[in-house]
DNA sequence: CGAATTCTATATCGATCGCTAGAAAACGTG
DNA sequence: CACGTTTTCTAGCGATCGATATAGAATTCG
């Protein structure tokens, strides 16, 4: 295997092109983003796009994976790096208010908003599954924290996990509706008051 | 003006056809619902649809108005018919859990979910405006209740209104993701604990 | 150099989109 | 009956969708 590849060199940076597609999908959603818009933003012709990413659907899947690794990772980080679950959720909600309204990115969350009204049910289901796994992860953490005495023993993990997801999804929607970081931070603070104390 | 109309009688019931369109738009969203699906569900040909409703966009507008009059009215009713704002919101959230998960209707809320990823910005903006006016209405009621001493004087009406909308929007999203009535009722109860006491 | 390889540019493909023209069908009225 | 009016049916409009066939351009290897 030589380091130099044969044939005509590609005229684009694959990672940069993927990032452009990510931003576009994030902003407009899966279905409302056309191949024409994608090729224009990614700086390549349609055949190059299909050669590099397979299909619109496969490109979107790769975008979702990349999104999870970069823009969605702050959630797991907040939950892991804080000493208590409550502190973790507090930071998560506060950071979500910031992440969902950053001026250099599309508002809201790709996983929540990019495939809501989707003609192809499998794309919609793919993001649905991601959201469901997030709820499950919340529920698991809450259950552990309850067992550890960190939360009251009468805490309902499933309901509290769902409530947290509801808050995040609502915040993401409101961000797309134009809510500011400050507004969402106030919402996050209010939501946190629903969390039980030890 | 005679009671019998001249010409060939129409072979459909306009109100029933509008209701079928409403259900379809509610279920699939504005853009993902095609004219072909609409005509099939409404029991009429495309020319009849355009003669009766103008265009897909005008049909959707009429659907949205009808939706507001019927399926969205429980909110204003709950807020008006209860003696205090807190009781009103409590009932509103509880009823939303029920309304968003009724087995005989599409899940969630048309105003919240029918135009999220929309190619035509004006349709998306139309529902956005409706949502914003709901937030404003909340804020107004909270402000009045605070002035009347029904809520603590340090209550922030804007944040509390936004939080309530976030809860509703998140609940609607979760309903579309498969959450049950019981689950959403628990979420609503949790959200209500963020409301300040007198 | 020529051959093999790899990518790019043009020009579509069939399908579907929202929408409509034109003719035929079904009614009340003379 | 014929006539005007209204609706329905059939067929198809131009545009756009995702995806591709084909030919040419740009590189490495022999």
Taking CA–CA distances from A155, the nearest residue in chain B reads: B190
Q: How far is the CA of B69 from the C1' of C30 (A)?
A: 45
Cα B176 from chain centre: 14
How many angstroms separate the Cα of A38 from the Cα of each of A33, A132, B4, B182, B189? Answer: 7, 29, 56, 42, 44
Exposed e or buried b for every residue in A127-158, given b needs 16+ CB within 10 A? bbebbeebbeebbebbbebbeeebbeeebbbb
Which of A60, A166, A181, A197 is the best substitution to test chain B (most B C-beta atoms within 10 A)?
A166
- Of B193, B95, B27, the closest CA to residue A124 belongs to B27
Flag residues 18-57 of B with CB < 7 Å from strand D.
44-48, 51-52
Per residue in A82-140, pLDDT (tens digit) is 999 999 999 999 999 999 999 999 999 999 999 999 999 999 999 999 999 999 999 99
- Both structure tokens of B195: 């409301």
Q: How far is the CA of A35 from the C1' of D16 (A)?
A: 11
Q: Return the number of other C-beta atoms located less than 10 Å from residue A118's C-beta.
A: 24
The shortest CB-CB distance from A117 to any of B116, B179, B189 is to: B116
Q: How far is A5 from chain B (nearest CA, A)?
A: 40
Taking CA–CA distances from A181, the nearest residue in chain B reads: B159
For B81-84, the CB contacts below 8 A with 24+ separation are B84/B145, B84/B150
How many angstroms separate the Cα of A2 from the Cα of each of A5, A6, A52? Answer: 7, 9, 21
How many angstroms separate the Cα of A14 from the Cα of each of A17, A64, A73? Answer: 5, 16, 22
Q: Is the pLDDT confidence value at A2 over 60?
A: no
Contacts of B146 (CB under 8 A, 6+ apart): B152, B153, B155, B157
pLDDT for residue B2: 45
pLDDT for residue A1: 44
Contact yes or no for B165 and A174 at CB 8 A? yes
A144 and B156 Cβ atoms separated by less than 8 Å = no
How many angstroms separate the Cα of A171 from the Cα of each of A65, A165, A178, B47? Answer: 22, 10, 10, 42
Class of domain B73-193: mainly alpha
The shortest CB-CB distance from B194 to any of A29, A160, A191 is to: A191
Nearest nucleotide (C1') to alpha carbon of A46: D19
Q: What φ, ψ does residue B22 adopt, rounded to 5°?
A: -60, -50
pLDDT for residue A162: 98
Delimit the domains of chain B by residue range. Answer: 14-67, 73-193
The protein residue nearest nucleotide D7, judged by CA to C1', is: B8
Nucleic strand D within 7 A of Cβ B69: no
pLDDT for residue B145: 97
Q: What φ, ψ does residue B56 adopt, rounded to 5°?
A: -60, -40
- Of A111, B34, A27, the closest CA to residue A38 belongs to A27
Flag residues 16-55 of A with CB < 7 Å from strand D.
31, 33-36, 46-47, 50, 55
Q: Provide the mean pLDDT of chain A.
A: 96
CATH number for B14-67 (one of 3.30.1330.40, 1.10.10.60, 1.10.150.110, 1.20.120.1780): it is 1.10.10.60
Among B residues 150-169, those touching chain A with beta carbons less than 8 Å apart: 156, 158-160, 162-163, 165-169
Distance CA B23, CA B18 (A): 9
How many angstroms separate the Cα of B47 from the Cα of each of B31, B54, B74? Answer: 20, 10, 35
pLDDT for residue A63: 98
Which residue positions in chain B have pLDDT lower than 50?
1-2
Contact yes or no for B117 and A113 at CB 8 A? yes
pLDDT for residue B198: 65
Contact yes or no for B177 and A128 at CB 8 A? yes
Compute the residue count for chain A. Answer: 198
- Of B127, B176, B137, the closest CA to residue B158 belongs to B137
Contact yes or no for A186 and B128 at CB 8 A? no
- Both structure tokens of A48: 């190059």
Task: Describe chain B by its helix, strand, coil percentages, rounded to 5.
Answer: 65, 0, 35
Contact yes or no for B114 and A112 at CB 8 A? no
Average pLDDT, stretch A165-180? 98
Residues B38, B40, B44, B50, Cα dihedral to 10°: 30
Distance CA A36, CA A38 (A): 5
Among A residues 21-60, those touching chain B with beta carbons less than 8 Å apart: 28-32
Contact yes or no for A191 and B166 at CB 8 A? yes
A197 interface with B at CB cutoff 8 Å: no
B60 and B118 Cβ atoms separated by less than 8 Å = no
- Both structure tokens of B30: 């504005």
Nucleic strand D within 7 A of Cβ B1: no
Enter the pTM of the model: 0.95
Contacts of B72 (CB under 8 A, 6+ apart): B109, B110, B111
How many angstroms separate the Cα of B15 from the Cα of each of A9, B9, B169? Answer: 61, 15, 28
Q: Is the pLDDT confidence value at A3 over 70?
A: no
Could you tell me what percent of chain A has a pLDDT over 90?
Answer: 95
């Amino acid at each position: 295997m030589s380091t130099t590849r044969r044939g005509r060199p590609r005229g684009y940076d694959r990672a940069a092109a993927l990032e452009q597609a990510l931003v576009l999908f994030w902003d407009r959603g899966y279905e409302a983003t056309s191949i024409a818009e994608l090729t224009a933003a990614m700086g390549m012709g349609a055949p190059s796009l299909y050669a590099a990413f397979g299909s619109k659907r496969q490109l979107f899947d790769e975008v979702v994976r990349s999104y999870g690794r970069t823009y969605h990772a702050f959630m797991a980080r907040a939950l892991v790096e804080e000493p208590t679950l409550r502190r973790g959720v507090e930071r998560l909600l506060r950071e979500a208010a910031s992440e969902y309204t950053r001026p250099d990115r599309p508002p809201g969350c790709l996983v929540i908003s990019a495939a809501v009204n989707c003609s192809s049910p499998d794309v919609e289901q793919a993001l649905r599954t991601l959201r469901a796994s997030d709820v499950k992860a919340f529920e698991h953490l809450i259950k552990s924290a309850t067992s550890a005495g960190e939360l009251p023993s009468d805490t309902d993990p499933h309901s509290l996990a769902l409530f947290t997801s509801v808050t995040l999804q609502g915040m993401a929607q409101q961000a797309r509706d134009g809510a500011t970081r400050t507004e969402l931070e106030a919402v996050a603070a209010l939501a946190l008051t629903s969390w039980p104390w030890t």
